[in-house]
Amino acid sequence: MEISLKGKVILVTGASRGIGRALAIGLSEAGATVAAHYNSNDREAESLLDAMNDHCRIFKANLSITEETLKLFEQVKSEIGKIDVLVNNAGVALSSEMLGDDEQWTADWDFTMAVNLRATGLLCKKGIEHFIENGEGRIINISSRAAFRGDTADYVAYAASKGGVVALTRSIARAYGKQNIKAFNIAPGFVRTDMAQDFMDQYGEDYALNDIALNELTRPEDLAPLVVLMASGKMDHATGCTIDVNAGSYVH
């Protein structure tokens, strides 16, 4: 089944590398106009722009700052004209010792929640307002296996933030379906990205490989077809769902 997203404007956060980059390229290849957000790496963002179709654009914002998060959404609307689909992919995973310094742990917790949950919630809020005005819209949130299975003690903030994303998405799906707004969760496990590499550098790659049912780790490209399908409207009746993409490491 070939899917065309021509005419759709899709905002993808955290798009300069890893999962976000793969999603932005996959959506672009399906014909979408992708508004690709990034935080700080101009070189990677320019490289992404070169890899997408000519209608796509890049936008820079620090999602740990509320004002910049709001500005991002308004800038995309202003410069492209509309947003049809919001893909909240941007996230951070900080190793923070539970039995360590209270002040550092709190700072790590607050930063993780600001990026992973507050910014996601705020962009969903702006998306809902815009979609009601436009008559429809779709939200795709990238959560994590950790939201359901939990994580190691030093990544509890990450797991908690991603659990919040799941509840947020389900609430949006239930509250706004009658306004033609659909919301979906994707919950990856280990994906071969820079973020996962930080974890594997700490625990060893065998830790990740021994934790999955398949022979190799999930790649960012493995998530792109699912996001294209969700963005297309062909699985709208699955609104509120969470789809696991974790190589069989956690099945619920």
CATH number, residue 214: 3.40.50.720
Query: Residue 195 corresponds to which amino acid?
Result: M
Phi-psi region of 7 (alpha: psi -120 to 50; beta: other; left: phi over 0): left
* Residue 133: strand, helix, or coil: helix
- What the block records as the tokens of 238 is 């699955």
CA distance 93 to 18: 13
Q: Is 4 within a domain?
A: no
CA distance 190 to 114: 22
* Residue 141: strand, helix, or coil: strand
Q: Is 75 within a domain?
A: yes
Q: Is 62 within a domain?
A: yes
Q: Torsion angle of alpha carbons 92, 193, 55, 35, nearest 10°?
A: -10
Q: Bridge-partner residues for 141, per DSSP?
A: 88, 185
Helix or strand holding residue 181 (H, E) = strand 181-188
Q: Is 51 within a domain?
A: yes
Kindly list the catalytic residues: 158, 162
Q: Is the distance from CB of 140 to CB of 120 less than 8 angstroms? A: no
CA distance 31 to 129: 25
* Residue 48: strand, helix, or coil: helix
Please give the pLDDT value at position 86.
99
Q: How many domains does the chain have?
A: 1
Q: Is 23 within a domain?
A: yes
CA distance 15 to 118: 18
Please give the pLDDT value at position 199.
67
Average pLDDT across each block of 10 residues of the chain; the chain has 252 residues. List them in order.
94 97 98 98 97 98 98 98 98 94 97 98 98 98 96 96 98 98 94 73 73 83 97 98 89 78
Q: Is 252 within a domain?
A: no
Q: Torsion angle of alpha carbons 141, 144, 150, 151, nearest 10°?
A: -130
Q: Is 251 within a domain?
A: no
Q: Is 3 within a domain?
A: no
Q: Bridge-partner residues for 205, per DSSP?
A: none
Containing structural domain, residue 54: 9-245
